[in-house]
Amino acid sequence: MAIDGSTLNEEEIIQYVHRKYIYYDRLPKLIGGQLGVALSVILLLEKMVVHKIPHMCVLEDDALLCDEFEDKYKKTCADLPHDYDFLYLFKHPYYYPTGHSLYKKPPPNFLHYINSHTSFRFGDPELQMPGKKLIEKALPVCGIVGFRVSLLGAKKILHSVKPIYFPIDDMIMHMVIKRTLNAYSVKKGIVDTAGAISAWDLSENKLKSNVWGTTNYTIVLPKN
């Protein structure tokens, strides 16, 4: 099911354009890794819809699972509202509370973007949900290292991300920003990544990403 975008030839890409998987005019702005990840997720969600799979857990190839992942995953899923669409299993270091051992200070340009495009702010108490110990309302998160999606959530995502106009995690971020996706996040990550954690920080001793591609791109939400 996974697609290596760097191996796609011109004919294959043209076929994806004709089948309305990719916006032709966005091709110059997308690198092979971004196309590969987006197509991989889209084809997986399409399979989910065709076979009417009610829920699915999706992990990227550089995902690192916490100890006792299966047990913690089940408990986390039990905390979800019945009408959820999407759950981030990866907690980006920027999103932990200040003072937490895993917290990492977001760069100013990232923080400005997030805080200027969503009604929620970092550390906003409204993210917390009464009676929920394991999950909270989601801010738009960089990276989809690990996530759980419902059948309805898969249908919503497919409606918004086809044709591909941007990296898949950013397209999902746009849905979270616009509140068209009923999205939640774990309070503490149960999935980590062996790769780079953001487009603005590629200096860490982690696997080099084939998705970020640049450190200064501008995110532009589609008009529709």
The per-residue pLDDT for range 55-70, each reduced to its tens digit, is: 999 999 889 999 999 9
Please give the class, per CATH, of domain 5-193.
alpha beta
- What are the beta bridge partners of residue 195? 207
Phi, psi of 63, deg, nearest 5: -70, 140
pLDDT for 83-103, tens place per residue? 999 999 998 888 888 888 888
Nearest C-alpha neighbor of 175 from the set 152, 209, 196, 195? 152
pLDDT band per the 50, 70, 90 thresholds, residue 207: low
For residue 10, what pLDDT band results from cuts at 50, 70 and 90?
A: confident
Among 187, 188, 192, CA closest to 146: 192
Task: Classify the C-alpha dihedral 199-205-210-211 as positive or negative.
Answer: negative
- Residue 93, token pair as written in the block: 């270091």
Domain ranges of the chain: 5-193
**Residues 16, 21, 23, 26: is their CA dihedral positive or negative?**
negative
Tokens encoding 22? 């990719």
Helix 32-50 / helix 151-161 crossing angle, nearest 10 deg: 140
pLDDT of 149 higher than 50: yes
Cα gap 34→168, rounded to integer Å = 7
Q: Under a CB-based contact definition with an 8 Å cutoff, are residues 216 and 84 in contact? A: no
- Does residue 40 carry a pLDDT above 70? yes
211 and 167 Cβ atoms separated by less than 8 Å: yes
Quick check: 224 pLDDT over 50? no
Residue 77: predicted pLDDT: 97
**pLDDT score of 219:** 37
Q: Is the pLDDT of residue 42 over 60?
A: yes
User: What is the residue whose two structure tokens read 């895993």?
Assistant: 102
Instruction: Determine the pLDDT at residue 133.
Output: 92
Q: Please write the tens of the pLDDT for every residue from 101-130.
A: 888 888 787 777 766 766 666 667 778 899
**Nearest Cα to 92, choosing from 143, 41, 133, 148?**
143
Q: Which amino acid appears at position 85 of this protein?
A: D
More confident residue, 195 or 40: 40
